[in-house]
Structure 1
Amino acid sequence: MSTSETHPGTSQPPSALLSGRRIRAALIGTGAIGRGSHLPALARLAEEGETEIVAAVDIDATAVEEFCRETGIPHAYTDLEQMLREQRPDLVSICTPPTLHREQTIAALRAGAWVWCEKPPVPTLADYDAVEAEEGKDGGPYASIVFQHRFGSGSQHVRRLLAEQAMGRPLVAHCQTTWYRDTVYYAVPWRGRWATEGGGPAMGHGIHQMDLLLDLLGPWSEVRAMAGRLVHDVETEDVSTALVRFESGAMATIVNSVLSPDEVSRIRIDCERATVELTHLYGHSNENWRITPAPGVAGDEAAAWQDFGADVPSSHLEQLRELVASMRAGERPRSSGADGRTSLELIAAIYKAAFTDTTVRAGEIGPGDPFHTAMHGGAPGWAPVAPVAAQEVSA
């Protein structure tokens, strides 16, 4: 029976099964992101009568049992498939390392559960396409990526202004994720490696700001880029820069770095009649946005642009609220499917442009392209070096 049409064991569409009851949620991975971001969001909606957390899964039996005792979650598991069979959750929240996301997401979708997966969604575009192929075609279940910076009153207000071209056409943009990570950070074995982290700061750090930029400006058309390892002894890059042209004609610069002691996350968009700027670090509220009108713009019009409404900060909670609403309506949520893929495709294009010294156009990285199955694309100097066999050494 196809999970795209019905929940396993039923003849009803998935959304109908959620009417008038709490959404049963399970948390996969009990580390820092699960404990610090996903759990509080799920717990808040539980207080509001929307969700109930029925289980948690972790490979460490002691850790997951202690986690469940501390949080009051009734069922602890070390086996995801067993949990899916026994608890039949409606929603699975995935907070594990990127290399596990594809397998765990597909398992949840096949069990009829919607998925809310931490970024980066998967290590490659091929993995993403495999996940998307498992999603429901009409009413779910769907897999949504955690891109919480899209959500909240500030981004919602600016998105509307840009969509309506209230400030004129967007012309020039800057997207900056310049953070600092020292050698201790990279001493963790899975960091800085293609197979386990999926990429460097473009993939693991700057993805949030780039996703928000795309959400505000729409589709991109071409990319040129450079990347380097300037400080850290890692497989991936520790800094990258890119030039991006959008379908609208707007042009942007993007900088992703883990070499910058003065840390900041910033987006600036210069429109014909105003500049919009967001400056923050890990999350934003209304006060982090600034709109500067061009000379000659009427004061009352400029004042209307500044009216962000009630302050709702960007957060996991705000994205989860919208995801739950989509589940109940049987609608595809934002940051899933093609909408979720666009940021991962831009990152793959940045890597390909940087490692091959070419201009990469939207849509060109597909099956048969080496950057479809690996973000390093097998490029000399960037692809992981296979260990030399013992017989080759002796020879």
Structure 2
Amino acid sequence: MINHAINQDRRDFMKNSAAVAITLLAPLKGFSAHKNPIIILRSSWQTVNIGDIGHTPGVLALLEKYIPEAHVRLWPSDVGNGVEEMLMKRFPNLKIIKTDQDKTQAMAEADFMLHGSGPSLVARVTLEDWVKTGKPYGVYGITFPGVYGTPDQAKKASPKDIELLNNARFAFFRDSVSLEIAKELGVKCPVMDFGPDGAFAVDVRDEASADAFLKSHDLQEGKFLCVIPRYRYTPWWKIPSKKRTIDQEKDAINQKMKEHDNGPVRDAIVAVVRQTSMKVLICPEDETQVEIGKEMLYDKLPDDVKGKVVLRGKYWLTDEAVSTYLRSAGLFGLEMHSPIMCIGNGIPATVGRFGEQSSKGFMWKDIGLGDWLFDMDTPKDVAAMTPAVLEMAKNPKDAKKKALRARDFVVKKQQETMAVLKKNLYS
């Protein structure tokens, strides 16, 4: 259960957010509908992680819903590996900026640049170029500064980032810790508030692939949970396309902590299988998690449990993943964006985090799911994981209601943040 302190923190957070919302939703001044505004969405950072992929279709869906008259130009870093095809299937009128000529034309004709969700101010260089045009821009749902490490290290930001945020029309941070750090470091953007990660709004689907996979493994809708393992540090050196050499220091930490972190997840799988009728699907959020899912979860399961556990043996794209999550009774494990996409679609999901990560995990407290957030460096949190997962499996209706309450809170914030963007498009 959420303790009293967390409840009070969220009440204060919601009270402050409500006050900000009154300001954000004030009547729009200078509104002019003489043209369809052109927005550059700077997003799509990489394709080896379904969460990083998810930022883009999520924000595109919000723009489509709340500012349907706008023309959107996507300026991606990477839409390979089938991601472009997935986006165009869902957004057939989307224009994707690919060439230098496309970039030049977009910079000239666009009215506004929107920096999409991400682990930091990822596209700072693009924003620096955009500033030279004198046209407005905003930042939508980032962690700040996005530095990984100790609390003191996590508060280090470049003066250029602070300057870019100060000159933005608005800056929305996807967790309240980032918002407070920004204030502490002297960011004074005209509008600063909590703004949900764009991936909460993901609605891409691949129903056929999801149905075929579930049927082939006898996973029935509403009768299985999904689970995601991970290392402390994503081992990018294991992904050939990244072309990185092994980071010996990070790999040593990964190897040292992999049982500490994934053992409790495995214990939760065993409890679910032995104490409920649910099955479990082990699946990846990034390419590296197929391997660790087999090594640390599936291979170490007792024989009586393995028969009700399915290991997904290859990486997938966001659309198939979301379609699968929607058919599940919920998700647990050590990742962030699969839970985000679950809650955005009303599916229960817990989050496990580490001290080595940024502050993004704290958004679970911000949206009212503090008792579904587990700090793997805190023994009482680790001990609470299995009971919480069991409760989700044994009482799916209650878990669903809880997920929907969080989703409704997120939707309200999406409405408010999109209203701010619209105001700045037309004023």
**TM-score, scaled to structure 1:** 0.38
More helix by share: 2
The structure carrying a bigger strand percent of its residues is 1
